[in-house]
Structure 1
Amino acid sequence: MTEITGAPVCPPAVTELRDRVAAFVRERVMPGEPVLDAGGPEAATLLRSLQREARAEGLWALPLPAELGGQDLPLASYAHVAEAEGASDHGPAALGSAPLLDALMLWRHGTPAVRDRYPARLAAGDLRACYAMTEPGVPGTDPFLTATRAVPRDGGGWRVSGRKWFTSAAADADLVTVLARTDGEAPDREGLSLLLVPARTPGFRVVRELPVLGAGGQWEIALDDVAVDAAHLVGERGEALAVAGERLQLGRTLRCLRWLGQARRAFDLMRERAATRTGSRGPLGDLQLIQRHVFESLLALRTTRPLVYEAVARLDAGLDARVEVGLAKVAAARTLQQVADAAIQVHGAEGLGPDTPLPALFRTGRAARILDGPDELHIASVARRALRMP
């Protein structure tokens, strides 16, 4: 993987670890991507094998808290590792960092019963979790219109009814955190709560897979009068958006880092193609239009990376990072789409086919501009805050 220089530089103490992770992803994970992308029993077997190898090499669960069996790598250090890890969509799962958001959320905001039962098992890879927020027919950018409802049940606890969609990894999840209205009526700004639903609970079902530009991994789920224990309320009643906001800031920043890793992967493929492909007029890289693709891609990478690390620095310091995360999210998604598109153009027809990862990288970049908050949401949110700045 090419080193995209410019601030910030990876600290020397982290460089060796980052390089080990990069080698693991490049040599172990990437060759298995066709199997992992296809899903099914063979993919599950390969993923378990990769996870055993990651544990054996001391690369498992690097950013997770030590109390949960992780290695407690601080965010400022893990950020450099996350770039290398994220060069493959399957890197975080293979290396045990994929449960970070769910494990932290339950560890920080779960009841004692939830804290004792689930976060460590998530960190160990024994359980899988997903997060269900958006709904069919409801703008994903407006949680106040959430239609899923949770009502108190006799004897305590809740009964949850509603439908969610574009829920990542729902088909294989053991636990689903569901955003539901427990009080008031839409579009009240108060009254939304988070409830942890075991996927085997009667009334919970996976409705269908929702391919994104032809690729799987997103699902629609239904909750039909699902009984949820009172101890499975995550955070305070009616305070879901505070917990969700904390999760979203970290989650978006981690995704930006991983998108950077994927953009660098596309850039490397483009560089190699331009340097090695020779036609009747000489090397492809001698053509000015190809050089322009390389230049524009490098410019995008070098200008986006500092934005992402500014968000990392503010989160690591415990500061409000909403402006920085919004800037980073838009820039990183655009950069991945732009660099992958340029790499496809340089590869020609081969870049559209199954022999390179470029179609998948482009698909991820395009989807990134909508999923987890469309560009327009972040642009408007950051602009409003900028207009209020002194």
Structure 2
Amino acid sequence: MKILLIPDKFKGSVTAEGVIKALSKGILKSMPETKVFKVMASDGGDGFLDAIQNYISLERVEGDTIDPLGRPSRAYYLYNESNSTAYVELAKASGIELLSNADLNVMETSTIGTGIQIKDAITRGAKNIIIGLGGSATNDGGTGIAHALGYRFMDDKDNLLAPKGKNLSLISKISKMDDSFWKGISFTAVNDVTNPLFGKEGAAYVYAKQKGADSGQIESLDEGLRNLAYTVQNTMGVDHALLPGTGAAGGTAYGLKTFFNAEFISGIEFLFKLAGIPQLLKETSIDYIITGEGKIDEQTLHGKLIKGVMDIGLQYSIPVIAVCGKLAIDPIELKKKGLMAVLEVLDTTKPLQYSMDNASKLIEKTIFNYFENQKSI
């Protein structure tokens, strides 16, 4: 038996590495002869740089920046001097994990901090900027990054606007200062969501609630993103708003595509290549792929890491099993999309905190029981 493990973290409970260890223990307890292959993956969100460091030795560059609310902070990116490539994780400077629940205010947050990091990388000599999206606290359409690199956004009276969610609906003019600083730089946005910029499946309606927005603010943010796209189309002559994936990280993917002509690549595809997985799948007969995350819900089908793993399973005709802390979607729907089985580890007889605190043991027990049961079928 050969099994490939590609789980995400169980957020707030156990790291992706911890999930891999728990799955491995459960599998080997049931089937000691199994050969287990492991991939530290990321969908481009928080954990992106950690995943990369598992496969490439890179320089860690730490520096001053600002957090999503504009407060001074420190963050790092990775740099490969040999090919002038910088790897930036949006969540390091613009992530939701940097804010307390009391601080969550998606109307006021911005991606400027990430833009400062990108500017530093370009100053260092980077010719290729690879940005992992996800885990953001923002819904600014990428205007923060654009501002940090020389774009300016004004209202109809030529007043300069701070690049944040609440100001998107006021944008009437866009100007670009000297672009020689980043001209010729290659930008790549890494993410695994397929949402467009706006609309019911867009950045605001799908993701802003978890960033602190109420229903009225969600509607306002969506209108703001529509206005940004309208103004861009009128002033720059481009329209990427409905391109799948532009809704990632509060529309940051849209901003990167629009202002810097960024290429899109899925996180799972990016890291699979990095880890040599396509070669492994061609040369090795894998019996199962096991993935997982803390919560499987509707967002999972919009292109999170699990969706990427499901696609790989379909491509190579390998059954995929998903393990999760909580299942918040009809498992029949997931099976229709390509999952062979979905295993929820939540212990419903105890408070939620018990399952959070004991996730590793529950993951190990759940996968052990699954393969033990398979023996009797």
Higher strand share: 2
**Which one has the bigger helix percentage?**
1
Give the TM-score range, shorter chain.
Answer: under 0.3
- In the superposition, the TM-score normalised over structure 2's length comes to 0.23
